[in-house]
Structure 1
Amino acid sequence: MGQPRLLAGLDTAARLDRVGHLTVHGALPQYRVDDLIDLAEAIDLRGRGGAGFPFHRKLRAVMRSARAKEGRSAVVVNASEGEPSCLKDTALLLHVPHVVLDGAQLAADALGAEDVVVGVTRDDVERSVRDAIAERGPGTRLRVSRLPERFVTGEGTSMINGIEGNPAVPNGQKVRTSERGLTGLPTLLSNTETYAQLAIAARLGAAGYNSVGLPAEPGTLMLTVSGATAVEIPSGTSLAYVLELCGSSPGQGVLVGGYHGRWLTPEDASQALLSRQSLAAFDAVLGAGAVLPLPEDTCPAGEVARVTRWMADETAGQCGPCVRGLPSLATAVEQMVAGGGRATFEAVEARMRAVRGRGACSHPDGTSGFVASALNVFADELRDHALGSGCGRRVVGALPVPADETPERLVVDWTLCRGHGLCVDLLPDVVRLDADGFPDKAVMPVPGRLRPMALRAIRRCPALALRIQE
């Protein structure tokens, strides 16, 4: 598929330090902001974190907003990968961090930005970025900020809030970061790979950059295949060919774009190219670059239910569609998969309608889209499960979900419980009531992030019927 660009040099070294980076790529040229905008437009650089927004428009918006702030602005690299199916940005920052920092520095110099922050969520990535910043010597404006590793951390306002020392959750306001972001300044916020692509284009120029990939979508793409392998490919490469090179196949279907993405049937996956135009024909988007083939030996229904529950648990906990809507959707999917009958299909559809377009961020829409796509592609499998026959296959975890590191459980003492129901008000993600108004289980797992609420539920129980058990 040709020579790598972002990952160039890794055939001889596991990580390119500053000297190795300059040996491979050479010095970084300087651009005026208008010239950098023209370059980004000429190569049609799009955000590589999910939305695919044109980078030149974002850069121009920050430049215009900065004029009203006495030229002041900031640059933020969004290196959050809270989704376990994605690791391409992690790979970049662990192995070639300077190509990312070059892109951020290039944009900051063009804008005259006074602050350049890389927002990360992992220990190893934080160390790699700190080492790379130190390798660049004194006088750099670059700094790194550690945030919690959660799905919603990657949302733009969540990232800004976290860097400023506030809870890393969406603010729900329709204010663009290009107008008011870090410390109230116009902020250029984009994904890790986007800045890396900008640094490559700055060295190659538009013509050189456009020599690889499709004419309408030039350059290379970073992908994460099967949640385990990060690869760089020219845009327009066959999806089936990439899977073959990674030792896989379309299997029962391929999830493209991660857990806010869409499923492709095996037939569609065999025809699709990895480009915006080709995937749009299948109502799919590349999103954050995650490609997840579903092998033949796993249960599609169980995999979908497992991910839906994890997505529900990743709620920011601040708006109804997430706090109540997504757990209810996950429960409806689980009941459908467990043989709940035809009525469970209607329940799933109703829960999806209830959350669409109503969240403080795109998480409810993305999760409902994931379920809707699964209902379409795995219609026969899900119908068989709902009607009780199932497929007889186990769930192998082909769709990666982090293991809950907290072994704690909420335990109900049935000799004391009187069915007051306060526990479900405080812990709707953990406690569910049966038809008589009592908890439907005696032992319920408590995610680590919900431990404070579990302790509060224990204190508020009038019958003292709850306790935490490790």
Structure 2
Amino acid sequence: MTSTSTITVSDLGGPRLTLGFDRFDRLDLERHQAVHGKLRTPLLDEIVKAAEQVGMRGRGGAGFPFARKLMAVAARVVHPSADQTDLLPGEGADDRLPGEDAVVVVNGAEGEPGSCKDKVLLTRAPHLVLDGAQIAATALGTQRIVVAVENDEAARSVRAAITERRMPARVVRLTERFISGESGSVVRAINGDVPIPFGVKVRTAESGVDGCPTLLSNTETFAQLAVLTSLGPDLYASVGTEDEPGTTLLTVGGTQVVEAPYDTPLTAVLEYCGVPAGQGVLVGGYHGMWLDPPAVRRARLSGKGMRAVGGTVGAGIILPLPEGTCPLGEVTRIASYLAAQSAGQCGPCRMGLPDVVRALNALTEGAASVEDVRRAAAVGMGRGACGHPDGTARFVLSAMDTFAADIAEHRYGGTCGQSTFGVLPLPVPDGSEGRVAIDWSRCDGHGLCAYLVPELIQLDRYGFPVVLGTDIPAWMERDVQRAVSMCPALALRVTNGMSRSPARRS
């Protein structure tokens, strides 16, 4: 992961979340209070009213209304007393009876390559995030706060801030994976279970950490709640649009974090960061959508503005694709990574995503059509245990439209004449990754490997194995080891990280 020392942080139109960053590398409690003021904890009804007034939404990508999420947890936590049931909203707020205990979870998981805004907040402004968490917790009548993070630097910063505040909160370290930030994965990790999505629809507001009602939102959302409480709805809404007031954090090009008001033109953000649009711009990250240069010129930084050009703000990730690299090759490279990052607990991930990668590889070589890719991507949409298949399909399908000219060259010539330089960010390999390989001097085409690991190996029309060129997902390591040991010709092996496993040697 990128260290915060190499990340540039700036603002367009004035700082709010990043206030004080021009003077301090990190805001400890004393500096935080000098910059943002002391913590104020309004009542639940006041928070809900303010969040509704400014239309505050989560900043983790889904954009769910924060007031609705807060009220859903509150409905399980506090109940009106018997003689208060006829009061209007806002009356008798101090005359409520306790319900179930609640948990407030700051989702600091940022396993998606190309995003570092939440890590910047946790390392440089941890007290702003904790202010937001404490405001929500106090409104819900609980002291149970959990901060889930993937990065050691962020974990150290948050622990230090918790010690300064002497607050009963804890930090949970998550595994650095793409799906780590999915709400079910976060809850499972905190509960000490395997950190994968639930597989069935479970509302954390009803049953989250330890089975308790849980308010789970991402890091920036809690920081925004603290800013909203400090400024008040009117001042908060003095920038942005009437429908989407305020600012948001963006990660541009994987190394620059920019705070910008909603409705800022996308071109203004790119020009400010000194990054050209190139062949197209990916907005919303690897579960987002591609915009071609004409759409980039029309795009504005808001939900409405992005929808107008076929894009999304999502988690605030903006990745331009520079000239000189093969667009289809870059898309295939990322799709391969996404296929290997799945939890492997449902068909759309186990079989569907590898089929998408196979179709993309064939298209790259001119041996398939765009319709083949579309069919493969559509098979798992709406059927996955989580949103990973849908997000991957959205990324791939938007590329089919944005890079149609490049794809046509591959389709009819087998290549576009450009190399794939790997400019889109991916995690730096740590040596634990492995890939399936075939020793062709031994392979006799028995086909057993395709039966044992069909997700990674399929047979061609002559009965010989065709290996999917992706890293071996963690959930498949045991199956791959079994396939290696059972290969009759001793031709199957694992390269790189998993070579430490009992693979056959020639």
Indicate the residue corresponding to 2:200 in structure 1. Answer: 173
- 1:418 deviates by 4.9
Indicate the residue corresponding to 2:504 in structure 1. Answer: none
After superposition, residues 352-367 of structure 1 pair within 5 angstroms as 352-367=377-392
The yes-or-no answer on 1:63 pairing with 2:79 is no
- 1:141 deviates by 2.3
After superposition, residues 387-402 of structure 1 pair within 5 angstroms as 387-388=412-413, 390-402=415-427
CA contact (8 A) 1:430 1:446 kept: no
Indicate the residue corresponding to 1:336 in structure 2. Answer: 363
The letter for the 1-side match of 2:22 is D
Indicate the residue corresponding to 1:267 in structure 2. Answer: 294
CA distance change for structure 1 residues 227 and 180 in 2, over 3 Å: closer, same or farther? same
Residues 377-431 of structure 1: per-residue CA shift (max 9 Å, x gap): 1111111112125322222323212243336454445565454444334434543
- Specify which of 397, 403, 416 is matched with residue 372 of structure 1: 397
The yes-or-no answer on 1:307 pairing with 2:334 is yes
After superposition, residues 11-26 of structure 1 pair within 5 angstroms as 11-26=22-37
CA contact (8 A) 2:123 2:157 kept: yes
Identity level (%)? 48
The letter for the 1-side match of 2:295 is D
- Specify which of 50, 53, 57 is matched with residue 46 of structure 1: 57
Residues 127-164 of structure 1: per-residue CA shift (max 9 Å, x gap): 22112212212xx2211111111111111111101111
CA distance change for structure 1 residues 372 and 413 in 2, over 3 Å: closer, same or farther? closer
CA contact (8 A) 1:89 1:192 kept: yes
Segments of structure 2 that go 5 or more residues without pairing to the other structure are: 1-11, 80-97, 497-506
CA contact (8 A) 2:354 2:456 kept: no
Indicate the residue corresponding to 2:226 in structure 1. Answer: 199
Indicate the residue corresponding to 2:453 in structure 1. Answer: 427
CA distance change for structure 1 residues 209 and 376 in 2, over 3 Å: closer, same or farther? same
CA contact (8 A) 1:93 1:100 kept: yes
Indicate the residue corresponding to 1:252 in structure 2. Answer: 279
SS at match of 1:188: strand
CA distance change for structure 1 residues 122 and 452 in 2, over 3 Å: closer, same or farther? farther
- 1:49 deviates by 0.5
CA distance change for structure 1 residues 125 and 31 in 2, over 3 Å: closer, same or farther? same
Residues 273-308 of structure 1: per-residue CA shift (max 9 Å, x gap): 101111111122100000111112221111111111
SS at match of 1:306: helix
SS at match of 1:440: strand
- 1:36 deviates by 1.1
Tell me how far apart the structure 1 counterparts of residues 159 and 216 of structure 2 sit (CA, whole Å).
19
CA contact (8 A) 1:250 1:270 kept: no
CA distance change for structure 1 residues 74 and 439 in 2, over 3 Å: closer, same or farther? same
After superposition, residues 318-329 of structure 1 pair within 5 angstroms as 318-329=345-356
Indicate the residue corresponding to 1:37 in structure 2. Answer: 48
- 1:172 deviates by 1.9
CA contact (8 A) 1:72 1:114 kept: no
CA distance change for structure 1 residues 59 and 123 in 2, over 3 Å: closer, same or farther? same
Indicate the residue corresponding to 1:350 in structure 2. Answer: 375
CA distance change for structure 1 residues 20 and 427 in 2, over 3 Å: closer, same or farther? farther
Tell me how far apart the structure 2 counterparts of residues 90 and 328 of structure 1 sit (CA, whole Å).
34
Superposition CA RMSD, Å: 2.0
- 1:52 deviates by 0.5
Residue-pair matches, total? 465
CA contact (8 A) 2:340 2:473 kept: no
The letter for the 2-side match of 1:459 is S
CA contact (8 A) 1:71 1:112 kept: no
SS at match of 2:232: helix
CA distance change for structure 1 residues 169 and 328 in 2, over 3 Å: closer, same or farther? same
Residues 58-96 of structure 1: per-residue CA shift (max 9 Å, x gap): 000110022478231111111111110211111111111
Tell me how far apart the structure 1 counterparts of residues 138 and 240 of structure 2 sit (CA, whole Å).
29
CA contact (8 A) 1:404 1:448 kept: no
TM-score by length of 1: 0.94
Tell me how far apart the structure 2 counterparts of residues 16 and 172 of structure 1 sit (CA, whole Å).
39
Instruction: State which drifts further: 21-30 or 406-415.
Output: 406-415
The letter for the 1-side match of 2:419 is R
Segments of structure 1 that go 5 or more residues without pairing to the other structure are: none
Tell me how far apart the structure 2 counterparts of residues 222 and 426 of structure 1 sit (CA, whole Å).
45
Tell me how far apart the structure 2 counterparts of residues 428 and 122 of structure 1 sit (CA, whole Å).
34
CA contact (8 A) 1:323 1:428 kept: no
The yes-or-no answer on 1:120 pairing with 2:146 is no
The letter for the 1-side match of 2:104 is V
After superposition, residues 78-89 of structure 1 pair within 5 angstroms as 78-89=107-118
CA contact (8 A) 1:164 1:182 kept: yes
CA contact (8 A) 1:66 1:185 kept: no
Tell me how far apart the structure 2 counterparts of residues 451 and 357 of structure 1 sit (CA, whole Å).
27
The letter for the 2-side match of 1:100 is V
The letter for the 1-side match of 2:425 is P
CA contact (8 A) 1:261 1:287 kept: yes
